[in-house]
Structure 1
């Protein structure tokens, strides 16, 4: 029986984690194959929590060495021992996972985007000094990881033509990559019929995005301020509930954009934070419009799919990939 080992020390909240969890749930139903997961740190905690919520049973191996060494933004050094007893290693979020040439011979990787590399000139000025240093190390690490994967001809699954084009532009090659589109019968987000949305306006716009410059919140907020007739804007995702009090970094820039646009928190703009799926589903369903003015997306493609599946919502995208 072929045994596939999944290795991921990232598990980004939102689209990245959702991608792996939902796909693992489907993979486990394939007869004649077995799977397990290697992870550690906060990524492992998130996996355990979500797997339990989704009632997904998979053997998990804990590795705290790799995430500890990568805490400063350095790449995760995947130990060769993870290849033991495995027929195939799958890196579902390969960007920061550095493997040896020996391990590369039995590895397949998934890459959704190269946002940091492509848009670093727009991203870095909006970060505070501490975050900028970490992101600089992440960019260096991603560059090294992608260079190795491409040069060693590791099979790579890409979720968009745009990412393949970016690889050609940045590295002069796309290696052994193939497009695996996210089309198909995507499961709609669960919506709890008893969820109460007391306190929220009856009509509003929703922007599901983590607090990071490539999400382009400032452009959206600036545009909203220029509208003579506008709906309130609901910001959801990690870090959005802290935005009204943010004074530095990208959060501080967003806060300044709200003030400069003449908008008021909890009236014109709301920061709802990272919502559980049933609550997020209810908030999405009531929304008049889902807006993502992003510079580029990886796991952020999944809120788009969720919005498209919800007949009551409409999706808008600035990025040409979604035009």
Structure 2
């Protein structure tokens, strides 16, 4: 079968970017093993190292959209006005064009007139695989597999990043139509599968159509991070000898605010000065506002010198940062599963995270779990790592054992099984 694949290549894509790379590398292995598949990669950046690597491995490489004047103009407009404004305009346009709507007012458009509709097919794709919930899936007219990473706009609509400025409607348009017309659906966990069935059973989501493909870190199974590499990143970023690490974009649900408040509590009430390193994008109106609030809070509480923010960090530096840290701290309000836990375990870093549905199942006993709404609970978790040396080593061992239960071969076999079932459904 001739497969088409649309990866998320920008590092600002966070976990979905990492998920894309893992899936792309596994697809390349499946093709290389000669199991009857060919792979076409569609990308905006044809010079990206992963795309170049795919081309060298025998995959065909194509631009994401046909090189027409219309799409060149659309890309130029997005660069000028910004992604947020372009996305808001797009949502309003979809609502205006929609001929029919669901009971909650969401446009029910199965296929839009779009040059991409014929583009994927013209490039030979018989089945498209999307590692993210892209509208291109159902707008292109080619059979597809649709990946759903979270439905937090349904679980946590109180957070503006999943509900404000048309975002809730954009997600509903994407999920309702993507689910309705997909050959198969992919969830990253059994909890994610439960959510799809709960919220989108009316769109044709059934247990048989949803396949679970858990996360697998890009660097999992590689050699241990050397002390030289740890020292290199410490020197490169000017890091303190001991620190906790939180790699996350500055969305409100990531909860950086309470991490800073927990640091202040530890210093004021318990005499502990814990240094923290944040990395992740704070571009865009909402993330920029969150970043300012977090840093202003640190300054007001007198701990600004304890908070280090690195911005975007290249993928190659991340294993060294994890390995150098005392712990990954991630008191997020969102489930269901998260790649940073796996990256941390792979690099020999223990985890402090939220005691939430989905996360409990992912980390088991290989993490200290805290209440993300409680500053005192977060502080308690951090204090344990700062003072209990044996706890750190114990959780690193448990995390690595947990990681070893799901190998790259396991991931690849699950992915190939999904492709085979999709092919059978297309024939049937």
Q: What's the TM-score bracket when you normalise by the shorter of the two chains?
A: 0.7 to 0.9
The 1:317–1:100 alpha-carbon spacing in structure 2 relative to 1, beyond 3 Å, is same
CA contact (8 A) 1:98 1:145 kept: no
Alignment-derived partner of residue 234 in structure 1 = 277
Alignment-derived partner of residue 17 in structure 1 = 17
**Matches for 1:1-323 after TM superposition, within 5 Å:** 2-8=1-7, 11=10, 12-30=12-30, 31=34, 32-40=36-44, 44=45, 48-52=48-52, 57=57, 58-62=59-63, 63=65, 65=71, 68=75, 71=83, 72-73=86-87, 74=90, 79-81=116-118, 82-84=120-122, 85-97=124-136, 99-100=138-139, 102-103=141-142, 106-124=143-161, 132-133=164-165, 136=166, 138-152=167-181, 154-173=183-202, 174-175=205-206, 176-182=209-215, 186-188=220-222, 191=225, 193=228, 195-198=232-235, 199-227=238-266, 228=270, 229-239=272-282, 249-264=289-304, 267-297=305-335, 301-311=338-348, 313-318=349-354, 319-323=356-360
TM-score by length of structure 2 reads 0.61
Once residues 53 and 242 of structure 2 are traced to their aligned partners in structure 1, the CA distance between those partners, rounded to angstroms, is 30
Once residues 6 and 52 of structure 1 are traced to their aligned partners in structure 2, the CA distance between those partners, rounded to angstroms, is 14
RMSD after superposition: 3.5
**How many residue pairs are counted as aligned between the two chains?**
300
CA contact (8 A) 2:40 2:61 kept: yes
Once residues 176 and 40 of structure 2 are traced to their aligned partners in structure 1, the CA distance between those partners, rounded to angstroms, is 27
CA contact (8 A) 1:115 1:214 kept: no
Once residues 272 and 53 of structure 1 are traced to their aligned partners in structure 2, the CA distance between those partners, rounded to angstroms, is 28
- Bigger strand fraction: 1
Once residues 143 and 19 of structure 1 are traced to their aligned partners in structure 2, the CA distance between those partners, rounded to angstroms, is 22
Once residues 269 and 233 of structure 1 are traced to their aligned partners in structure 2, the CA distance between those partners, rounded to angstroms, is 5
TM-score by length of structure 1 reads 0.78
What CA deviation, in whole Å up to 9, does each residue of 1:269-299 have, x standing for no partner? 100122223322212111111011112257x
The 1:27–1:231 alpha-carbon spacing in structure 2 relative to 1, beyond 3 Å, is same
Where do 5+ consecutive residues of structure 1 fail to align? Answer: none
The 1:291–1:92 alpha-carbon spacing in structure 2 relative to 1, beyond 3 Å, is same
Deviation at 1:122, TM superposition (A): 2.2
The 1:288–1:200 alpha-carbon spacing in structure 2 relative to 1, beyond 3 Å, is same
- Bigger helix fraction: 2
Secondary structure at the counterpart of residue 23 of structure 2: helix
Secondary structure at the counterpart of residue 284 of structure 1: helix
Report which of the two structures shows the higher radius of gyration computed on alpha carbons: 2
